[in-house]
Amino acid sequence: MNMSFQEMVDLASHGLISSGISKRAAVQTAQFLALAECDGIASHGLARVAQYVSHAKNNRIALQAEPKLLKRHQAVALIDAGDGLAFPALRYATDLSVELAHRFGIGLVAITNSHHFGVAGHFTEASARAGYISIMFGNTPAAMPMVGGKKAIFGTNPIAASFPVSAKDPLVIDMSLSAVARGRILVAAKKGESIPHGWALDASGQPTTDAQEALQGLMVPLGGDKGALLALVVELLVVGLTGSRFSYEADSFFSAHGNRPQVGQLIITIKPDLAGKNIFNQRLAEFLAVLYLDSDIRLPGQRRFKQRSLAMKNGVEVSELLISEIQMGMK
C-alpha cells in the first residue's frame, strides 16, 4: 500500500498509543520512524513499531516517561530519558547541544536510561542544517565480540557525523560498527529472506545466511578487529559519560521480554568558526570541488535526501503484512 508521510505517522503513533505510550512520545517517535521510511531505511522505520509495542506491554519501557535535565555545567549537560522511548530525549538533547554550541562554541549532551534511537543521522542532520558540526555516538545491546572473542560484548554502537554545506544539504555520515545494521537482519527475518554471507554468525560462532539464526547469534564487526575497537571507543565514551548500562548488561531490543535497556547516547555539537568566521565553509567548498572532479562519487547522505524528496512527493510503498502487524498490535 502506498502511504504518505503523515499516513505513516498516524499509523505508527496510533499503534504506539494503543500500548499505553504517551501521545507526545508516540507522535515524536512515529515522526522519526516515518522519516526513516521516506529515507529508504526500512530497518529503522515502521518495522520497529511492533518491537516498541512489545516492550511497552512487557514493562521494558516507561510508558509516561518525560526527559529530564539532570545536570548542566557550562558546555556540558546530562539528560535522563527516564526509561522511555529515546526520541523525545534525543530531540531535547539535539536542541540543547545546538544552544550550548551557540553560546560556548561546543555543546556536549549525554543521554542516560535510554532505548533504541533509530537513525542516528537524523539528529546530527538537524544540527548541521542549523549550521553546526554534529557527532553522535550510542551503545546498544550486545551483539558483537571483542577482538579474539566469541561472546557478545558490544552492541553495533552506531556513529553519525554531519557537516553543514553552504546552501546545500549537509554531509551525513551514519553507520553502525557491525558489517550492517542489525535492523536489516530483522527486516530480512520478517520477510523470510536470507542474508548475505559475511553479515552475521550463528549462536555457535559459524557464518550464517539464515536471518533467524543471525538474530540469535553475533554480528560481524565492520572491518574486523578495527570495527570491534571502534565499538570499544563508543562503549567507553557513552557509558563513562552517561552512567548507562554497558551493552552486555542490556537485553536485546529484539526480545519482547527482558530488562529495561537503559543504554546511552552522546551528542557533540560544534560551532564551526574556530579558525575564522568563513574558514570552514571555504575549506569545505574547496574539498568538495576536488571530490566533484570524480564524476562517480556519491557524497554521504545524498542518496537518502533524494529518496526522501521522492517519498514526500509520491509516498512510500508499505507492505500489507507490516500494516497488518501494526494494526494487530492495537487490539
| Cell 521494558 belongs to residue | 60
Residue 183 pLDDT: 74
Confirm if 191 and 210 have CB atoms less than 8 A apart: no
Give pTM, 2 decimals. 0.91
Rounded alpha-carbon distances, angstroms, from residue 139 to 129, 226, 249, 286: 25, 17, 11, 35
Residue 199 pLDDT: 84
Distance between CA atoms of 192 and 265, rounded to whole angstroms? 32
pLDDT tens, 86-108? 999 999 999 999 999 999 999 99
Residue 187 pLDDT: 80
- Enter the C-alpha cell of residue 93: 538533547
Confirm if 247 and 255 have CB atoms less than 8 A apart: no
The single-letter code of the amino acid at 314 is N
Q: Which residues pair with 175 in a beta bridge?
A: 159
Residue 196 pLDDT: 85
Where are the domains positioned within the chain? 2-178+221-276+302-329, 179-220
Distance between CA atoms of 128 and 173, rounded to whole angstroms? 12
Query: What superfamily would CATH give domain 179-220?
Result: Hypothetical oxidoreductase yiak; domain 3 (3.30.60.50)
| Of 63, 96, 52, 99, nearest in space to 78 by CA | 96
Distance between CA atoms of 256 and 82, rounded to whole angstroms? 19
Residue 22 pLDDT: 97
Where does 2-178+221-276+302-329 sit in CATH, by number?
A: 3.30.1370.60
Encode burial over 209-235: b for 16+ CB neighbours within 10 A, e otherwise.
bbbebbbebbbbbbeeeebbebbbebb
Q: Going from the first residue of the chain to its last (331 residues), give the mean pLDDT of each consecutive group of 10, the final group possibly shorter.
A: 96 96 97 97 94 97 98 98 98 98 98 97 98 97 87 93 96 90 79 84 82 82 88 97 97 95 98 94 95 91 96 95 87 69
Confirm if 101 and 142 have CB atoms less than 8 A apart: no
Angle at 109 between CA 103 and CA 111, to 5 degrees: 155
Residue 328 pLDDT: 82
Residue 113 pLDDT: 98
Distance between CA atoms of 124 and 126, rounded to whole angstroms? 5
